[in-house]
Amino acid sequence: MGKQDSAAKTSNLSFEEFKTIVLEDFKLVNESRQASLLGRKEVLTGKAKFGIFGDGKELAQAAMSKVFKNGDFRSGYYRDQTFMFAIGALNLQQWFAGLYGHTDLSEEPMSAGRQMGGHFGTHSLNEDGSFKALVHQKNSSSDISPTGGQMPRLLGLAYASHFYRINKELQNAPFTNYSNKGNEVAFGTIGDASTSEGLFWETINAAGVLQVPMLVSVWDDGHGISVPKKYQTTKESISEILKGFQRENGGKGYEIFKTRGWDYAHLCETYEKAIKICREEHVPVLVHVEEVTQPQGHSTSGSHERYKSKERLEWETEFDCIRQMRQWILNNALATEEELLKIEEQAKETVKAAKSAAWNNYLDPIKAEITEVSALFEEMGGEDVLAIRKEIQSIKEPNRRDLHSAIKQVLRLTHNKPSDIRGQLTGWLETARIQNHDRYSSHLYSQSAQKVQNILPSAVTYGDEKLMDGREILRENFDAILQKYPEVMIFGEDSGKIGGVNQGLEGLQLKYGEHRVFDTDCVRSRKYNTWIIFYTLCSL
């Protein structure tokens, strides 16, 4: 059976339906690639400050996106633009707005420029701070810059799903807003070099112990920046050294798959198999995607010709995933050369248009400010002021800093000549300062009605005095909280069976069950509770 036949068969699709899906994917990966190519140019020509892109990882992400359902969560890293496009959480124009650091949420919905481009988050909250129905949307927890930092929260998200499944009290409203009886999977992505980090190993171990629905994909392009796998990974293969985690004879552990980043049909088949096990059996699964390339090197900070051999570079050209997919489409007569050329050309046009729209929307408000201030300069007159006006107007791609420096220069020049216009310029700067505070410094902390500063302190009242141990007071409080909120759990080293080394949880496991109060290793108790608590307590 050919690859085409097997992929079509597993999905029960007609040939025409299958062809449409394949060509849609071809369009998606081409658009994503063009975005990476143009994105690098935007940085190297100074319009954006830094770029790190998903070129070379497009096919694997297109395949992974097919099994990602509403309610699922992603916790991944900066290479995942194709996946985000595929699940409809980001479009090309918004992606460019992220690259430019546009601070308007309607342009850059990930973080309104608060985070570097490539930090792919979806919103869990409405404008007023209330929770969205997470089960009805595709979710992504925002990436963070330290590589491997996505792993602890991935475990938390997968554990949350497990908790909703085992805790029957959470299977009715309002909890059905967050989980459909724990049917959700937490999808993780990580680069091969980052699998050497402690966070990766701790997460892998914990998910194996807990048996949670976590699907981790490793995009293995053989390098961590310039350093090849032989200096990063024992035996140069993460799936090889994780073999001891493979479940056997109905026991606990992982399912581990290996596939190749350029093999579209095998990638799709692998993800179909992987998700079935992960979602239905609620066990962790690892997909090791080998033979992945990085056509433009690590980031805009350098070029890969410095550290990749001629042979490696030739191999990367030959096994570029889009080139391989193209050949596979032609070999299987799914489209003609002309049809593919048309898709490729169209992708270039679409991306160019998206880039221009994003850039114009970023630049137009700044240009409007320059026009406004230039009129004031003109009215003020004088050779020096008009020279500054000319200079600011001649900058092709100005930023607000250029404009503010120009105004300050004019104010300095005219410090001993008070005038109405000078007053207007000072006023203009003050208004801009307030607007810029909103643009660049707002929403770094919660501004919703639920923000911490809105919690009013309650004065302590004393009744009949009774002498108690501190640990008893803690225990009574934990007891009251567990009683009131079925979504609360307590876990950590010694928290379960013995009720804490200082007995602050004495008897609570017996009272509320092992699924609410339980023991874990000490590392997990430190790191992972934030995310677990966040997603299980979201209705508090």
Ligand X SMILES: Cc1ncc(C[n+]2csc(CCOP(=O)(O)OP(=O)(O)O)c2C)c(N)n1
Q: How many Å apart are CA 72 and CA 275, to the nearest integer?
A: 11
Q: Quick one: 225 or 376, whose CB is closer to ligand X?
A: 225
Residue 172: how many other CB atoms lie within 10 Å: 10
**Strand pairing class (227-228; 223-224):** antiparallel
Report the nearest approach of ligand X to the CB of residue 353 (Å): 28
> Helix crossing, 15-44 with 58-65: angle to 10°?
130
Asked whether the beta carbons of 353 and 64 are under 8 A apart, the reply is no
Q: Which is nearer to ligand X, 90 or 238 (CB)?
A: 238
Q: What is the DSSP string of 299-356?
A: -TT--GGGTS-HHHHHHHHHT-HHHHHHHHHHHTTSS-HHHHHHHHHHHHHHHHHHHH
Closest CB 199 distance from ligand X, rounded Å: 9
First and final C-alpha spacing in the chain: 54
- Minimum distance of ligand X from residue 294's CB (angstroms): 6
Looking at the Cβ atoms of 144 and 209, the one nearer to ligand X is 144
Q: Residues interacting with ligand X, by CB under 6 A?
A: 79, 145-147, 191-194, 219, 221, 223-225, 298
In the complex, minimum distance from the CB of residue 194 to ligand X, in angstroms, rounded to a whole number? 3
Question: CA 513: distance to chain centroid?
Answer: 35
Collapsing DSSP to helix, strand or coil, 539 comes out as: coil
At 278, which helix (H) or strand (E)?
helix 264-281
Nearer to ligand X, 61 or 361 (CB): 61
Q: How far is the CB of 306 from ligand X (least distance, A)?
A: 15
Rounded Cα gap, residues 300 and 42, in angstroms:
10
For residue 533, count other CB atoms closer than 10 A to its CB: 18
Contact between 363 and 374 under an 8 Å Cβ cutoff? The reply is: no
Q: 35 or 160: whose CB is closer to ligand X?
A: 35
By beta-carbon proximity to ligand X, the closer residue of 50 and 131 is 50
State the DSSP H helix or E strand holding residue 17, giving kind and residue range, or none if neither: helix 15-44
Q: Rounded to whole angstroms, how far apart are CA atoms 17 and 76?
A: 30
Query: Residue number with the shortest CB distance to ligand X?
Result: 191
Query: CA 285, 290, 296 angle in degrees (round to 5)?
Result: 125
Whichever of 224 and 499 has its CB closer to ligand X, that residue is 224
What distance lies between CA 385 and its chain's CA centroid? 47
Q: Which is nearer to ligand X, 232 or 536 (CB)?
A: 232
Closest distance to ligand X from the beta carbon of 271 (Å): 19
| Least gap, CB of 39 to ligand X (angstroms) | 15
Q: Least distance in Å: CB of 201 to ligand X?
A: 14
Tokens of 177: 């807003």
Nearest distance in Å: CB 29, ligand X: 17
- For ligand X, the closer of residues 93 and 147 by Cβ is 147
